[in-house]
Amino acid sequence: MTAPTPLAGSPAAVPVLALGDTLLVSLQGELHDRTAEQLQQDIAHRVARSAATGVVIDVSGVDAVDSFLGRVIAEIAAHTRLLAGRTVLCGMGPAVAITLVEFGLTLPGVLTALDVERAFELLRQDALAAVPGGGAGCT
């Protein structure tokens, strides 16, 4: 595991942890637009530089989302997918889920999981399925 990397030039930086070939981002509280945009750029650069194959975005610390944050999450997933990675959104509470549906945000390409542990398991299963014969006989 590498140390968290704060976003450059932002006092309210969102740390991005590298855990093997997966980046973990834990959103806490309200995320301002500029910080969300910087996070989006930082993750795209980190995925490209590190060849990360997965990004887990934990929103368990977020009480509410707006349409801008929803769009940023969708764009993070799109960038990650273009760089041959997968994005899992986890820890979503009912209020966040309801808000995303009310905004009509479908978040294409974003997998969902109940918690971080299940998100990592989902990425592991996805990676095994992508390898020819990788899922056969594996536990």
pLDDT tens for residues 42-78?
Answer: 999 999 999 899 999 999 999 888 889 989 999 999 9
Radius of gyration of the CA atoms of the chain, in A = 15
Q: What is the pLDDT of residues 90-118, one digit of tens each?
A: 999 999 999 889 989 888 889 999 999 99
Give the separation between CA 125 and CA 3, rounded to whole angstroms: 26
Annotated domain spans of the chain? 16-130
Question: 């990650």: which residue's tokens?
Answer: 80
Confidence of residue 12 (pLDDT cuts 50, 70, 90): low
Q: What is the pLDDT of residue 67?
A: 87
Handedness of CA 114, 118, 124, 128 (dihedral sign): negative
What does pTM read for this prediction? 0.84
DSSP state, 91?
-
Give the separation between CA 110 and CA 19, rounded to whole angstroms: 19
Which CATH architecture best describes the domain 16-130?
2-Layer Sandwich (3.30)
Strand partners, 86: 54
Give the tokens for residue 136: 């056969």
CA atoms within 13 A on the CB side of 92: 21
Q: Which of 23, 92, 100 is nearest to 59 (CA)?
A: 92
Residue 32: φ, ψ to 5°: -70, 155
Q: What is the pLDDT of residue 3?
A: 45
